[in-house]
Amino acid sequence: MMSAWRKLNSKNLIALALAVLLLAGAAGMALKLRKNAISKGGTALDRFFTVRRGEMVIGVFLSGNVNAKQKHKLALEANFKTTLTWITAENSTVKKGDVVARFETDDLAQKIEELELSLQNFLKERDISLEEIRIQKSVNEAQKKIAGDNLLDAEDAFVKYRKLEGPKDSDTQNVKVEEAGKLLEDARKNYEEALATFKQTVFMEEDDRKKEMEKLTALEKKVKTEEINYNNSILDRKIFKRFTYPNKLTQLSNKVEQEKLNLNKASVTANSQLLQKENQLSKIEAQIRKTQYDLEKHRNYMPQMQLVAPVDGIVTYSDPDRRWGTQEIKVGMEVRPRDVLVTIPEMSTLVVEFDLPEQYRAKVKTGDKVVVQPDSIPNLKITGKLSSIAPTPVNQIHWDRNSPKIYPSKVELDEQPESLVSGMSVRIEIITDTLKDVLYVPVEAVFDEGGKYFVYLKVNGTPEVREVQIGTSNDYYVEIKSGLQAGETVYLYRPFQK
């Protein structure tokens, strides 16, 4: 069903195109004044005009549309793809709060259910993750305690050996050396005393001598044995001081350093494992927040799945201000967010909207007086003022960059008759100047030839060529600066033309 707005827009485009053509012809007449007022090959009827003196209005004539100053454009605000399931009839009257359109909600309800289920699962995962973190912290503390205890034991062993056991072992080695030395000294003394006695003794029997000799030999072996023991004790002490003691200290020191590394490793491992658990928890909490946000967002979409009239008014489909064609509105259509489906204009305040051609931009300004005449009520004339002109031009045909440039503009009315309604096509006259006390004739009365302008003056019922000097012109009349007087009659065509 074609809406009234679309019909009016189509009509206005045609009217605007015709108006541009007419204005182009009028402008050419104002500057060059066409040579012929009637086509060749025909004979004009007797049409005359009496030269007048008075006010001559200079203006620009255009076409426009009456529109509501404020239009409530209703669109799907929910950022959710859906379809239109019902819409009130176009041009129907609605009250504030009435539902004017409804959208399909099954997919939205299913999406909400899916988000609710996802949220429940994420909450369970969070509980599991929190328990894993608690267990991990307990394990970490136990592992760090074990590593710490091992370090303390290693440090105690090192200190104990360096301060107690090492010195004690050193003292033991010294004691052994002293004891071996004393035993060696005693063995030597016993041997020397036995040798001296043996030398001084005169043996009566050979057997006695042999026995003493055997004792002396045993004592001599004892000395050699003690010498060996003494030397061995000195060697053991040297080995202890040079190798055993420092190696033992190094071993215990290395053990301390190793346990320090083990403690640090346990701490790093524990922190890493805990961080992994905490990162996993953070991801789950982020998913919970996102799911909660999406769920709340989609729940808020549900009340938006219908359009409600914000004011009393008449329903029209689509966006009347859309320059590149209106959208067909019908049940079952796919609806995208923020596509205007319904417009409810406020009829209390009306304005006239029109497109100002680029060639007229320099001729008019905001605040200029405007006379508005509806096409359907030709006897009605309403005054107003040019309230706004777009700061930059746009193409008349949005998608065609070669189409003429226009400035979207508006007229505020001084009054608003009841017969004036939104959607009417109107004729606009923008008054840019008013010439006082001037002679003027219709543009059809003036012709040019060879760069000179002339009229056909009616003298005693017959035409007479009269050269004139022209001034300012509008779409209908041209100022005569010299060559004519008020009250004279001029032809509105070439009387001699066949």
Distance CA 426, CA 377 (A): 9
Which class for 334: exposed (0-12), middle (13-18), buried (19 or more C-beta within 10 A)?
A: exposed
pLDDT for res 303? 94
In whole angstroms, how large is the CA radius of gyration of the chain? 59
Distance CA 323, CA 11 (A): 14
3-state helix, strand, coil in the chain (%, to 5): 45, 25, 25
pTM for this predicted structure: 0.55
Please compute, for residue 379, the number of CA atoms within 13 A of its CA located in the half-sphere on the CB side.
Answer: 1
Distance CA 235, CA 177 (A): 9
Question: Residue 385, SS3?
Answer: strand
pLDDT for res 324? 66
* Long-range contacts of 247-253, Cβ-Cβ distance < 8 Å, separation of 24 or more: 248/161, 248/166, 249/158, 249/161, 249/162, 249/166, 252/154, 252/157, 252/158, 252/161, 252/162, 253/158
Domain architecture of the chain: domains with CATH? 4-70+346-491 (2.40.30.170), 71-101+310-345 (no CATH), 109-300 (1.10.287)
- Divide the 498 residues of the chain into consecutive groups of 10 and give the mean pLDDT of each group: 34 39 39 35 61 88 88 91 93 93 95 97 96 95 94 94 91 93 93 88 85 90 94 93 92 94 93 94 97 96 94 88 76 91 87 92 91 92 94 88 92 90 89 89 92 92 93 88 93 79
Q: Residue 144 is encoded by which pair of tokens? A: 């760090």
Q: Residue 479 is encoded by which pair of tokens? A: 């100022």
Q: What are phi and psi of 292, to 5 degrees?
A: -60, -40
